[in-house]
């Protein structure tokens, strides 16, 4: 006997990832939320989901203007503030309905040697990178479960697996996010899939500044460590997101997908 909520495996139909997959029951575009969705990698993720036919809400803290003319709806919310997230979620659920996709992309770095790192530096990064996704998933998972479907993608970092100096707060936050992903993939299954999409070095203003990639010597040294011999683009990450939200990955949950040109091979 098949459990009633599961299709027999031979009943699987070929997923049509460009039409019905992205549409609600009544043919309405489905809703997607991307935190940090107006800038950097998040802007590419928002744009890709919009191109796929989603209505996209791009959560921002300060850069709402960056969404102008992109077709996504910018909404201000500081994801590190649980009350702000609760108010945001109430507003979204009331005015827009249940999201089909939640991408927890917003993240910050405050990199310093451990002995110089303050408690406030630690807390701010944990509050944003780890507690932010926790508050958002808490707020939206009940509605997704009630709808019987949902897709959560947490944007991790290779530092969450492989340690580096001068960023213990960031590394711990991203390691925690990976474990949050796996635990929730278990608890929220089978209705909700939860995966961790891990960018390698990806060309954003933040990364160029932090790793001094506008210096040709620094750039050459970094490229020497990447088998694909290029820094990733935000669109490379959007390509992987497209796979993770499509029916082509319907049997994939609790996983980390590392998009880093082969720099680290775990």
Q: Rule CB under 6 A: which residues touch ligand NAP? A: 35-36, 38-42, 59-63, 78-80, 105-108, 128, 155, 157, 199, 201-202, 204, 206-207
37 near 54, Cβ under 8 Å? no
DSSP 20: G
Residue 252 CB, nearest distance to ligand NAP (Å)? 20
Residue 130 CB, nearest distance to ligand NAP (Å)? 11
Residue 166 CB, nearest distance to ligand NAP (Å)? 15
Residue 17 CB, nearest distance to ligand NAP (Å)? 24
> Which of the following is catalytic: 54, 60, 170, 251?
170
Residue 150 CB, nearest distance to ligand NAP (Å)? 20
Instruction: Pick the closer one to ligand NAP by CB: 150 or 234.
Output: 234
Provide the residue count of the chain: 266
Q: Using alpha carbons, list the distances in angstroms from residue 225 to 212, 213, 265.
A: 16, 14, 12
- 3-class secondary structure per residue, 50-71: HHCCCEEEEEECCCHHHHCCCC
Instruction: Pick the closer one to ligand NAP by CB: 58 or 185.
Output: 58
CB-CB neighbours of 156 under 10 Å = 27
Would you state the structure tokens that stand for residue 44, as one six-digit string? 């590419």
Describe the crossing of helices 132-147 and 168-187 by its angle, rounded to 10 degrees.
20
CB-CB neighbours of 77 under 10 Å = 24
Instruction: Pick the closer one to ligand NAP by CB: 150 or 200.
Output: 200
Name which of 33, 222, 234 is nearest 137 in CA terms.
33
**Does residue 22 carry a catalytic annotation?**
no
Instruction: Pick the closer one to ligand NAP by CB: 105 or 253.
Output: 105
Instruction: Pick the closer one to ligand NAP by CB: 55 or 135.
Output: 135
Exposure class string for 32-71: b at 16+ Cβ within 10 A, else e:
bbbbbbbbbbbbbbbbbbbebebbbbbbbbebeebbeebe
Residue 191 CB, nearest distance to ligand NAP (Å)? 25
Describe the crossing of helices 40-51 and 234-245 by its angle, rounded to 10 degrees.
50
CB-CB neighbours of 92 under 10 Å = 22
Instruction: Pick the closer one to ligand NAP by CB: 91 or 147.
Output: 91
Catalytic residues: 170
């Amino acid at each position: 006997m098949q459990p009633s909520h599961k299709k027999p495996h031979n009943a699987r139909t070929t997923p049509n990832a460009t039409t019905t997959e992205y549409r609600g029951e009544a043919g309405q575009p489905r809703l997607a939320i991307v935190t940090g969705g107006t800038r950097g990698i998040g802007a590419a993720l928002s744009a890709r989901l919009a191109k796929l036919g989603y209505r996209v809400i791009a959560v921002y803290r300060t850069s709402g203007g960056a969404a102008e003319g992109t077709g996504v709806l910018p909404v201000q919310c500081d994801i590190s503030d649980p009350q702000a997230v609760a108010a945001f979620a109430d507003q979204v659920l009331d005015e827009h309905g249940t999201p089909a996709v939640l991408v927890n992309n917003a993240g910050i770095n405050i990199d310093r040697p451990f002995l110089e790192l303050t408690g406030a530096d630690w807390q701010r990064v944990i509050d944003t990178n780890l507690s932010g996704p926790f508050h958002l998933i808490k707020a939206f998972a009940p509605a997704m479960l009630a709808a019987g479907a949902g897709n959560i993608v947490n944007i991790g970092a290779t530092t969450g697996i492989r340690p580096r100096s001068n960023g213990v707060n960031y590394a711990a936050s991203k390691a925690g996010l990976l474990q949050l992903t796996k635990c929730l993939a278990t608890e929220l299954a089978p209705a909700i899939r939860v995966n961790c999409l891990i960018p390698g070095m990806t060309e954003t203003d933040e990364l160029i500044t932090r790793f001094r990639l506008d210096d040709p010597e620094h750039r050459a040294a970094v490229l020497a460590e990447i088998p694909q011999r290029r820094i990733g683009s935000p669109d490379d990450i959007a390509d992987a997101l497209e796979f993770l939200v499509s029916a082509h990955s319907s049997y994939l949950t609790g996983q980390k997908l590392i998009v880093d040109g082969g720099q680290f091979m775990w």
